[in-house]
Structure 1
């Protein structure tokens, strides 16, 4: 099952409403995946790199974390705590050192970049959205996922989106049959997945292709040759988002576009309450075809 949503805003006046719109879309998909939920928000680029982190014991893990990390890096680190997650704003060029420090504290990295923040947890989409105050979040675009676990445990790390590159993340509806083989190949290349989720394998695959010099469109096209199974991928990047379905396209998907936005949903009902949907161009994305929009 699983449910995917995505919203790319062309109209800047809608950016304050991004979190609110995405939350409604995500909650509508609850019965497609009620065990966990997650969302990636691409907000205004503040110019400094940031890392979104998570802890099962945030009260202890995040107490004094910004001061301790500032001392370790020799420069000021900002911190914004939201429930079990925190967004750390780092001095330029310090992310590798920060990751080593965080790993030593047992704190998990959800994603990094200049624009992207990722929030995901076990629970119903409505509960997850409320915990992270997603309705209050603004930005230019975002993607979300409701999960029904089929190949790995119901955990925070098993929830989508998966991020394996700066300002890059992926959500997935479907199943990959060759993910264990691909996991071994990616590990040999230095892109080892951290969980048993097949979706993270797909995210690592795209990162490995980008590292080899492929464009994002080429990396997405590569999934059609190298990843076996049935899937719909929605990918978020710093400047936009892309969609690709496998050649059979057996998983449901629908898109809508107006002058104000481009939207994706596993089902039309996820899009039904968007402003101006009655005049949108609505279509089902073609099999084995890469779609991409950028700001």
Structure 2
């Protein structure tokens, strides 16, 4: 089944509450997929590149990692350890070299960009959110996912969101039937995927289209013709987030909008504690229709 939530804040005064609001939304959908959960948080873009990495042995892998990476890059590096994840800041010009170095050390790249941080792990949404202190995180918009594994193993790497380009990510409810063919076509373009999960292919397809000059809306429209299967996609970028459902739209989805925010949920109960939800415009997104909001 899986459960998706998304929250785009229109009013800056609400930014400190983003993590708390999104956590409440995600926890309410726990029984849609209790094996793993993940959250992408977008904050004010900075000049540095933020690289979020994960390790199964964080005490060993993160000990002295900032100094080692600084020596390898010849530039300043800062690191914030959050459970079995670490958020590493490097000058933007050193971002690609930093990612390559971190991968040679066996670290898993969750995300990279000037705004995005992704935290995901096996376990219930409540436990995952507590593990990483999501409630205390602020930002402009966020996307969350609670997973019931059907296409790949229950692992941290199999959890959503998936990020395949700077400041972009995707969560997905459904299944793609042609993801292996799409993966091969993307590989010929030099687009790399790290897992066998079909959702990562969807993320790579969208980021590839954007890198070729398509807008977020155009990239989401392309999924309707180029990706075969049933899906609800919610994608995040540095500037906003978008939603698209396949033409059959068999996966549940609902949206709500007020003057303060735009919210997405797989079920209405995700919205229960949002401020002003009683007067919000609430609707079911139409099949084969792209919705997106950007700053």
Question: What TM-score does the superposition give when structure 2 sets the normalisation length?
Answer: 0.99
How far 1:10 moved relative to its partner?
0.5
How far 1:294 moved relative to its partner?
1.0
Which shifted more, 86-95 or 254-263? 86-95
- Cα distance in 2 for residues equivalent to 1:208 and 1:122: 28
How far 1:47 moved relative to its partner?
2.2
Q: Secondary structure at the match of 1:90?
A: strand
Q: Secondary structure at the match of 2:8?
A: strand
Aligned to 1:145: 145
Deviations 1:111-163 (A, max 9, x none): 01001000000111111001000000000100000000001001100000000
- Cα distance in 1 for residues equivalent to 2:212 and 2:139: 30
Aligned to 2:77: 77
Aligned to 1:156: 156
Which shifted more, 185-194 or 37-46? 185-194
How is 1:56-75 mapped onto 2 (pairs within 5 angstroms)?
Answer: 56-75=56-75
Q: Secondary structure at the match of 1:93?
A: helix
How is 1:52-131 mapped onto 2 (pairs within 5 angstroms)?
Answer: 52-131=52-131
- Cα distance in 1 for residues equivalent to 2:190 and 2:94: 20
How far 1:224 moved relative to its partner?
0.0
- Cα distance in 2 for residues equivalent to 1:182 and 1:232: 18
Partners of 2:47 and 2:92 within 8 A in 1:
no
Q: Give the CA RMSD over aligned residues.
A: 0.8
- Cα distance in 2 for residues equivalent to 1:210 and 1:44: 21
Q: Secondary structure at the match of 1:275?
A: coil
- Cα distance in 2 for residues equivalent to 1:218 and 1:240: 14
- Cα distance in 1 for residues equivalent to 2:34 and 2:203: 22
Aligned to 2:19: 19
- Cα distance in 1 for residues equivalent to 2:208 and 2:45: 25
How far 1:92 moved relative to its partner?
2.5
Q: Secondary structure at the match of 2:202?
A: helix
Aligned to 1:183: 183
Aligned to 2:209: 209
Aligned to 2:285: 285
Partners of 2:47 and 2:91 within 8 A in 1:
no
Alignment coverage as a number of residue pairs? 295
How far 1:211 moved relative to its partner?
2.2
Aligned to 1:42: 42
State the 4+ residue runs in structure 1 displaced beyond 3 angstroms. Answer: none
How far 1:172 moved relative to its partner?
0.3
